[in-house]
A and B are shown apart, each in its own frame.
Chain A
């Protein structure tokens, strides 16, 4: 394990958690700092979570879920999320598909 990897706590592709933090934050028009203040974490930690470079603890994941009022599995997943538009309108044909 290289020094850089350990010091920044990056996660491997197998451990990576996908999330909808960016979408949810944009929906509620929140800055990273505002979300970080609400969760009691550093704003960089929010950035790391959004990018999937940091996997939150179960406790923090539940805090996120409580803050957004959504179940944990609606925010975090081990598999990539389908775009919301596809989930809402599954029968609409898209260009190039």
Chain B
């Protein structure tokens, strides 16, 4: 199946399915643990949607904007700048979120009278670790997928000019 990466709406759907699928999978497993074991079945379609979106996003991250000519496959200077900027932003977002989480956990554990929630089950820690891994793997590509402008605009101009 060939996906039109130039369409921003397609890329945004992919990002929504990725993080939505992950969140739905965690929510169904959490609910199965706390409420009704049968809810664990919902984790299967959510997990499949997440895995599919993850595969496509990783592929997108590797190939988007790539030029394939006699010199081989490479990125031009603007695409390289876009990737560098996305990686830097992802780093800032990730480390910022991690610092906020550590601060919260520290406050929650030291100020018991505040009765703040802290992860108590193994599954909750695994979910947090898993989310951290997913974000670290996907944030740069997700940022590019979300923010790169719609290529249809250029395509349409190109069609007008060559018509």
| Chain A residues within 8 Å of B, Cβ to Cβ | 3-4, 6-9, 26, 31-33, 37, 40-45, 47-48, 54, 56-57, 59-60
Contact = CB atoms under 8 A, between A and B. Distances in A.
Contact of A56 (B67, B77, B151): B77
Contact of A44 (B69, B88, B89, B154): B154
24 contacts: A3-B147, A6-B89, A7-B82, A8-B82, A8-B147, A8-B148, A9-B78, A31-B161, A32-B154, A32-B157, A32-B158, A40-B71, A41-B67, A41-B78, A42-B67, A43-B158, A44-B78, A45-B76, A45-B78, A47-B154, A54-B78, A56-B77, A57-B77, A60-B77
A74 B67 CA distance: 28
Contacts of A60: 77
B78 A42 contact: yes
A54 B76 CA distance: 12
B115 interface: no
B57 interface: no
A42 B79 contact: yes
A9 B67 contact: no
Contacts of B148: 7-8
Nearest to A33: B158
B110 interface: no
What bracket does the count of chain B residues touching chain A fall in?
20 to 34
B65 interface: yes
Interface of B: 65, 67, 69, 71, 76-79, 81-82, 85-86, 88-89, 143-144, 147-149, 151, 154, 157-158, 161-162
A60 B81 CA distance: 14
Contacts of B161: 26, 31-32
B162 A31 contact: yes
B158 A9 contact: no
A5 to B, nearest CB: 9
Given A3-B143, A9-B78, A56-B77, 16 more contacts: A6-B89, A7-B147, A7-B148, A8-B82, A31-B162, A32-B154, A40-B67, A40-B69, A41-B77, A42-B78, A44-B78, A44-B154, A45-B76, A45-B78, A54-B78, A59-B77
A81 to B, nearest CB: 20
A26 B162 CA distance: 10
Given A7-B89, A47-B154, A37 B69 contact: yes
